Structure 1
Amino acid sequence: MRPRWMALAAVGAAVLLAFAGQQRLDASPREAPDPVGWALYAGALALLAWGLLRDPAVLEAPVPVASPPPSAQGGRWGALALSLACTVLAFLAAGGNRFRLPGVVAGALAVVAWWVAWWNEPAPRRPREGLRLRAWHGVALALLVLGVGFRYWDLWNLPLDVNSDHAEKLLDVRDILNGEYRIFFPRNTGREAFQFYLAAATVRLFGMPLHKFTLQVGTALIGVLLLPALYLLGAALWGRHGGLWTMFLGAIASWAVIPARVGLRYPFLPTFAAWSLAFLIRGLRSGRRVDFLWMGFFLGVGWYGYSPFRGMLAALPAAFGVVWLLRKGWATPAGRRLGLDFAIGMGTAVPVLAPMLRFIVDFPEVFFYRLMTRISTWEQPIPGDPLRILIDNVRRALLMFHWIGDEVYVATIPGRPMLDPLMGGLLVLGGLGALLWMLRRRDPVPTAVLAAGFAMLFPSAYNLAFPRENPSAVRAAGALPAVLALIAVVPTLWTARWGALGRGRWVGWGMAALLAGALLWLNAERIFRTYAESYCHAVLNASDAAEIVRGFYALGGPRTNAFYVAYPYWFDSRLIGMWLGDLDWPYTVWHEDLPRALEGHRHLPGPKLYLVHPDDDASLAALQAAYPEGWWTLRPRSRCVGLGIRVFFAPSLVRP
């Protein structure tokens, strides 16, 4: 067998061994990993190293050729002065935590003037041969459609029921629709504004109601916008094949898809982290200032999405600094110019953030509240030595890809690794492949992705006060772009060498199709079956409660006569109202207040309906005493096994 075929066969065998090893780890008890899994991983790494070193040409997949950067150019001082002046105006106009039209216009002008001040590219020109569509354009479009399908398929029903966070967010959207244009929404410990303005625009443009589905439509869109950024990131790192593989992984990975379907702010973090990181890598490859300008722009926009994104303020300099130091950038004019361009790019975020900076100055305790309750004693004492907790948190955050994941049911499969067994195996192999790539090519750029990915684990790992909240699938999602780029390494090295296989190229196609099909099937199972079942068992079924009330109304029951008897840790009554089309649905009675409330209810004309917790025997006894002619039944969950609802019905003919 020729060395090239032997190398590729070794790579394929390494993937199978890593997959088997990860399956053993995933299936082993949570207390102790299966040593056979570690042994299989060791064999996979040895095979991969042997295969890549036997035919080092495999590591020479084509990457974009860096075009000569334009000549260095200082700022255009007039445009720079205009940008600074408009930034100040935008800052001053944002007082009282409000977006105002003059401030928004000033902020937009500040961003445009900043770009004009530092732009050093030739004017864009239309290609002489016109726009030419190539085969890879069709593949990228197909991957985008695949990602849309994974995020929007059966979105209404998965997830169907939601939690109190959604009710809080719908109230924030309603505030916007009522003219309260806040920069930062203080409700529910404080929330960034991007999602609420997106949902409000969805309501205005498409006439959608204040409903959890309106939130889901917007967050799924943000999840789709992740995919082009992943292509840019993968292509800048590993070439066009790397871009397509990274995009494919992002289209189907359960860690990327599930949070985008939930309807909360979660997908804003990986999406804007991917865009800013992709342009950082492009800037390191090309040396072009415009890439750093885009990096800074997305850094600024991302701060309006989801609070853990703030970690990118440290992750981007760390990623750039590692590469700059390895290249000894301080020693050459080109390196010093690159450092200046990076600083200019970071500065691009300032005019974008002018309103947010004003809010931070005016209300620092609100802006930093969530952070301080996790890293300090603001909410509860830190349960132990902070340094030991941090080290253990980092360890568990690193293990979440292969061992024990997030415990929260909302945006992941509780306790399971963040990645399916095949992606988990490819991540380990991809780490070794990236190392050999860097050594073979003397290419330090991939270390930027490693540094950024590690840094973005800290929004989960720095949780000192509540260490059980770590690892968090959503707070650590800033590492998702880096993780997917590493998973793509081995498939990229495989497919990039098809042209060297001659008539055996069809074998490469078949193996790649088999790998892609396995990844697609595994993640579809995780999202649409495993996650769907675990979520349904855990979430409270407010939709069933609303359906019961709606049925009572449809049968002629007065709208004032259906009541929800609230019980600790049961439904948020606003969610019942959401399903009924009225977030302010007022017919809630706390269980301890029910006996007193019944004195007034008994005089209401017409039949009455009460929704009672299955464990609330005291309320049921009070209802039976007030309405001797009434009866109750247990309504089971309609979609899965779980907590049902006691429905008490009092007919209209009752004793006064």
Structure 2
Amino acid sequence: MQNESSLLEALKLRGFPWRPLAALVLALTAQLMLEPPAREWISIALYIAAICFVVWSFLRGEWALARMAEDIYHGDTETLRFKSFFSVASWFRGSKQILFFLSLLLLGAAFYFFRGNQFTVLNLSLWLAGLALFVFGLWDNRHQFGRLKSSLQKMDWEWLALLLAVFAFAAFFRFYRLNEVLAEPFSDHAEKLLDVYDISNGNTSIFFIRNTGREGLQMYWTFLVATLFGTGISFLSLKLGTALIGVFTLPFVYLLGKEFGNPVVGFFAMFLFGISYWMNVIARIGLRFPLYPLFAAGTLLFLTRGLRTASRNDFLLCGLLLGLGLHGYTPFRIMPFVVLTAFTIFVLHNNSKAIRAQALQWLTIVAVTALMVFLPLLRYWMEYPEVFGLRAFSRLDSAGTFGSLAGVFFSNLLNALLMFNVDDGNIWVNSLPHRPALDVVTGAFFVIGLVLLILRYLRQRDWRDLFLLVLIPLLLMPSVLSLAYPEENPALNRAGGAAVAAILVSAMAVEGLVVGTVRGAESGQGPEKRRGFIPYILVGILLAAASFQNYDLVLRQFDRYFRIGAWNSSEMGRSIRFFGDVYGRMDTAWIVPYEQWVDTRLPALWMGLPNRDFALWPDQFASTLTLPAPKMFIFNLQDLDTKNALKQLYPNGTLSRYTSATTGKDYMIFFVEE
């Protein structure tokens, strides 16, 4: 009894963060019990208990989120000078007015010449020159040099070194064993490389219509990567390009963390984003998926900073990234609605008519700038509206009644909201099916962060807290709106933008644990003050554990699971290459298509032949009789009809079984030597 009494007394010390730690232990335990295959639903009760301790900690001031930077105009709105957006003279002086109007002429001419779904030297030059003059004409360059000089003088070089170390650690997660994970391409990769191949042959499309249509940014980026790194039009070029995109997202995530908190929040956000299983998988796929979080993070950064600082330059940058993102991955089309939502929430939280009027001007800057960047696709959309919207609307199109569609929508929304902590869906090509999208540590802090955000909003009514809460379901909408195919929801790829917001919330909670409990400990004396090191040690251990789990999820579990599901086109490519090396030809090597088997274009990708298809259909077998030997036919293990037909056609042929490195992926080789 005496020992228990002593323990209770110790816990009551002001410096010991027992309430936050109790909340964290409960949340971590709850999240751990949601890991497959356990799925213990007692985790709900544990999460409820954790939330109670979070609320208690918040009310006691022991766990609070970092204070966001104050809006620079809230304290002195009367000194603002509001000007009409259409009063160009109020913004430009002298030559800038001429350059601005010249930009509009150039952009108008570019729009006219964007006809025919082709980039040309003429329309591209007009567009880029017009954009440059447009931005220069609106850019506010007052005090820019002074601000840069001040920032450099205040630079904490030790902090910068720490950030670079985290950046390098995240880059390791993006690039390590990239040639092996993702192991095999699938049909979408063949389609992508055919588009890149078209570019190499001078077909510079604005919108690529192959496979229901795609925006072209990744194709041009892959062509650039293939040229710069000498990787050719290959599967590796696709993966290298998207992994680089995943790395480019990290600075935006860090700066966004600073905007919603402080540099420490940015540090934790970049770390968690860098190691994230979710973000690393979609960055390694080699498809357009990471373009959504990249441009979502950048757009959100300049949007929120612009609304805080009333900076015209930030709104210009927001518009540029918003427009460029629309050239990336189709789910990014939700972002204009996100921007509009942000302005709406901002305006509703301000009673000043002057600020509301200014907000309308800011929104106009964002919208017009984005429209200027979007011009090539706008022209294509006007010429081919059915093709442009086919990919997105194919998920929305459903024959159900309004009531049934509403039911599917809310069911999809619930499933999407549960993806962070419970179930990320069943799409095996870009996820580990039916596990949480977040790791145990990030998932636990995500729930805690949501509770803290709600509590702080109820207390302070800061528009940014509400926006961040609303942002998560908004960024999930590209997945949620798969009404025609609800089994495709949730999808890590189409919900990728939501990872930015979710991980930011987690990082805010981590910072609140460290800084809040340390602040409470430092307010004590002696033993109480010395206990301030506990959160640092605990968070360090948790980040290490999260790193190990995410490494295992991506480089072991996902790799193994994907290899089981994917067809071994690389091994078929090696078989054909060996045939070519030995006999000096590959035109008499074929793959016989079979239902639910390998895409016969994929083996050619491993040989740098994106435009080659090795398919030979059974009704074409007889045509091979006139061709000189040797000949090689690869076919499915279960395809007995092909086996019998080839034996009948070539009685002296040799049949062998190729043993794959992956169980269940063996295939047959029929060889004709004479």
Q: What's the offset of the Cα at 1:207?
A: 2.7
Per-residue CA deviation, residues 580-634 of structure 1 (Å, 9 max, x unaligned), is 23233354211x315xx2x343454433321110110111111222333333232
Instruction: Report the Cα distance in structure 1 between the residues aligned to 2:65 and 2:600, rounded to whole angstroms.
Output: 60
- Confirm or deny: 8 A CA contact 2:64 2:513 kept in the other structure: no
Q: What's the offset of the Cα at 1:230?
A: 0.6
Q: What's the offset of the Cα at 1:547?
A: 1.2
Instruction: Give the stretch that moved more between structures: 204-213 or 302-311.
Output: 204-213
Q: In 2 relative to 1, CA 206–389 (structure 1 residues): closer, same or farther, beyond 3 Å?
A: same
The equivalent residue for 2:465 is 446
Match of 2:365 among 333, 338, 344: 344
- Confirm or deny: 8 A CA contact 1:289 1:345 kept in the other structure: no
Q: What's the offset of the Cα at 1:128?
A: 6.0
Instruction: Report the Cα distance in structure 1 between the residues aligned to 2:401 and 2:180, rounded to whole angstroms.
Output: 39
| 5+ long unaligned stretches in structure 1 | none
Equivalences for residues 472-551 of structure 1 within 5 A: 472-497=491-516, 498=518, 501=522, 502-551=529-578
Match of 2:55 among 49, 54, 57: 49
Match of 1:291 among 311, 314, 323: 314
- Confirm or deny: 8 A CA contact 1:258 1:412 kept in the other structure: yes
The equivalent residue for 1:425 is 444
Give secondary structure in 1 for the equivalent of 2:601: helix
Give secondary structure in 2 for the equivalent of 1:388: helix
Give secondary structure in 1 for the equivalent of 2:33: helix
Instruction: Report the Cα distance in structure 1 between the residues aligned to 2:581 and 2:139, rounded to whole angstroms.
Output: 64
Q: In 2 relative to 1, CA 108–557 (structure 1 residues): closer, same or farther, beyond 3 Å?
A: closer
Match of 2:478 among 453, 459, 462: 459
Per-residue CA deviation, residues 89-111 of structure 1 (Å, 9 max, x unaligned), is 12112110111223223222333
The alignment status of 1:581 with 2:608, answered yes or no, reads yes
- Confirm or deny: 8 A CA contact 2:604 2:614 kept in the other structure: no
TM-score by structure 2 length?
A: 0.89
- Confirm or deny: 8 A CA contact 1:316 1:452 kept in the other structure: no
Instruction: Report the Cα distance in structure 1 between the residues aligned to 2:139 and 2:477, rounded to whole angstroms.
Output: 34
The equivalent residue for 1:221 is 244
The equivalent residue for 1:91 is 111
Instruction: Report the Cα distance in structure 1 between the residues aligned to 2:306 and 2:492, rounded to whole angstroms.
Output: 29
Equivalences for residues 320-335 of structure 1 within 5 A: 320-328=343-351, 331-335=352-356
Which amino acid counterpart does residue 9 of structure 1 have in structure 2? Answer: W
Give secondary structure in 2 for the equivalent of 1:471: coil
Equivalences for residues 301-450 of structure 1 within 5 A: 301-328=324-351, 331-377=352-398, 385-450=404-469
Q: In 2 relative to 1, CA 128–375 (structure 1 residues): closer, same or farther, beyond 3 Å?
A: closer
The alignment status of 1:244 with 2:261, answered yes or no, reads no
Match of 1:556 among 561, 580, 583: 583
Per-residue CA deviation, residues 115-145 of structure 1 (Å, 9 max, x unaligned), is 3443345142151695544322122211211
Q: In 2 relative to 1, CA 100–428 (structure 1 residues): closer, same or farther, beyond 3 Å?
A: same
Instruction: Report the Cα distance in structure 2 between the residues aligned to 1:551 and 1:20, rounded to whole angstroms.
Output: 53
- Confirm or deny: 8 A CA contact 2:441 2:543 kept in the other structure: no
- Confirm or deny: 8 A CA contact 1:66 1:286 kept in the other structure: yes
Instruction: Report the Cα distance in structure 2 between the residues aligned to 1:468 and 1:405, rounded to whole angstroms.
Output: 11
Instruction: Report the Cα distance in structure 1 between the residues aligned to 2:491 and 2:173, rounded to whole angstroms.
Output: 22
Instruction: Report the Cα distance in structure 2 between the residues aligned to 1:28 and 1:577, rounded to whole angstroms.
Output: 38
- Confirm or deny: 8 A CA contact 1:88 1:354 kept in the other structure: no
Instruction: Report the Cα distance in structure 2 between the residues aligned to 1:532 and 1:624, rounded to whole angstroms.
Output: 37
Per-residue CA deviation, residues 181-220 of structure 1 (Å, 9 max, x unaligned), is 1111001100111111111112333332211101111111
Give secondary structure in 2 for the equivalent of 1:108: helix
- Confirm or deny: 8 A CA contact 2:183 2:559 kept in the other structure: no
Instruction: Report the Cα distance in structure 1 between the residues aligned to 2:58 and 2:433, rounded to whole angstroms.
Output: 37
- Confirm or deny: 8 A CA contact 2:66 2:508 kept in the other structure: no
The alignment status of 1:15 with 2:24, answered yes or no, reads yes
- Confirm or deny: 8 A CA contact 2:82 2:354 kept in the other structure: no
The equivalent residue for 2:666 is 644
- Confirm or deny: 8 A CA contact 2:343 2:359 kept in the other structure: no
Give secondary structure in 1 for the equivalent of 2:205: coil
Q: What's the offset of the Cα at 1:338?
A: 3.1
**What's the C-alpha RMSD, in Å, of the aligned pairs?**
2.4
Q: In 2 relative to 1, CA 479–408 (structure 1 residues): closer, same or farther, beyond 3 Å?
A: same
The equivalent residue for 1:100 is 120
Equivalences for residues 60-139 of structure 1 within 5 A: 61-64=66-69, 66-67=71-72, 72=82, 74-76=90-92, 78-125=98-145, 126-127=148-149, 130-131=152-153, 132-139=155-162
Q: In 2 relative to 1, CA 55–586 (structure 1 residues): closer, same or farther, beyond 3 Å?
A: closer
Which amino acid counterpart does residue 119 of structure 2 have in structure 1? Answer: F
Match of 2:64 among 56, 59, 66: 59
Instruction: Report the Cα distance in structure 2 between the residues aligned to 1:587 and 1:525, rounded to whole angstroms.
Output: 36
TM-score by structure 1 length?
A: 0.92
Equivalences for residues 145-184 of structure 1 within 5 A: 145-184=168-207
Which amino acid counterpart does residue 109 of structure 1 have in structure 2? Answer: A
Instruction: Report the Cα distance in structure 2 between the residues aligned to 1:128 and 1:391, rounded to whole angstroms.
Output: 50
The equivalent residue for 1:278 is 301
Which amino acid counterpart does residue 51 of structure 1 have in structure 2? Answer: S
Q: What's the offset of the Cα at 1:382?
A: 7.9
Instruction: Give the stretch that moved more between structures: 292-301 or 200-209.
Output: 200-209
Q: What's the offset of the Cα at 1:334?
A: 3.0
Q: What's the offset of the Cα at 1:62?
A: 4.5
Instruction: Report the Cα distance in structure 1 between the residues aligned to 2:222 and 2:587, rounded to whole angstroms.
Output: 31
Q: What's the offset of the Cα at 1:456?
A: 1.6
Q: What's the offset of the Cα at 1:166?
A: 0.6
The equivalent residue for 2:619 is 593
Instruction: Report the Cα distance in structure 2 between the residues aligned to 1:376 and 1:454, rounded to whole angstroms.
Output: 21
- Confirm or deny: 8 A CA contact 2:580 2:586 kept in the other structure: yes
Give secondary structure in 2 for the equivalent of 1:555: helix
Instruction: Give the stretch that moved more between structures: 270-279 or 509-518.
Output: 509-518
Instruction: Report the Cα distance in structure 1 between the residues aligned to 2:58 and 2:42, rounded to whole angstroms.
Output: 24
Which amino acid counterpart does residue 144 of structure 2 have in structure 1? Answer: P
The equivalent residue for 2:209 is 186
Q: In 2 relative to 1, CA 59–128 (structure 1 residues): closer, same or farther, beyond 3 Å?
A: closer
**Residues matched between the structures, number:** 639
Q: What's the offset of the Cα at 1:158?
A: 0.5
Q: What's the offset of the Cα at 1:37?
A: 0.8
The equivalent residue for 1:198 is 221
Q: In 2 relative to 1, CA 382–563 (structure 1 residues): closer, same or farther, beyond 3 Å?
A: farther
Q: In 2 relative to 1, CA 535–60 (structure 1 residues): closer, same or farther, beyond 3 Å?
A: closer
- Confirm or deny: 8 A CA contact 1:315 1:451 kept in the other structure: no
Per-residue CA deviation, residues 393-442 of structure 1 (Å, 9 max, x unaligned), is 11111111122222111211122221122222211111011122334444
Percent sequence identity is: 31
Which amino acid counterpart does residue 667 of structure 2 have in structure 1? Answer: I
Instruction: Report the Cα distance in structure 2 between the residues aligned to 1:171 and 1:415, rounded to whole angstroms.
Output: 33
Instruction: Give the stretch that moved more between structures: 348-357 or 489-498.
Output: 489-498
The alignment status of 1:568 with 2:595, answered yes or no, reads yes
The equivalent residue for 1:622 is 645
Q: In 2 relative to 1, CA 384–160 (structure 1 residues): closer, same or farther, beyond 3 Å?
A: farther
The equivalent residue for 2:526 is none
Instruction: Report the Cα distance in structure 2 between the residues aligned to 1:11 and 1:642, rounded to whole angstroms.
Output: 50
Instruction: Report the Cα distance in structure 2 between the residues aligned to 1:600 and 1:445, rounded to whole angstroms.
Output: 68
Which amino acid counterpart does residue 383 of structure 2 have in structure 1? Answer: D
Instruction: Give the stretch that moved more between structures: 444-453 or 120-129.
Output: 120-129
Instruction: Give the stretch that moved more between structures: 547-556 or 357-366.
Output: 547-556
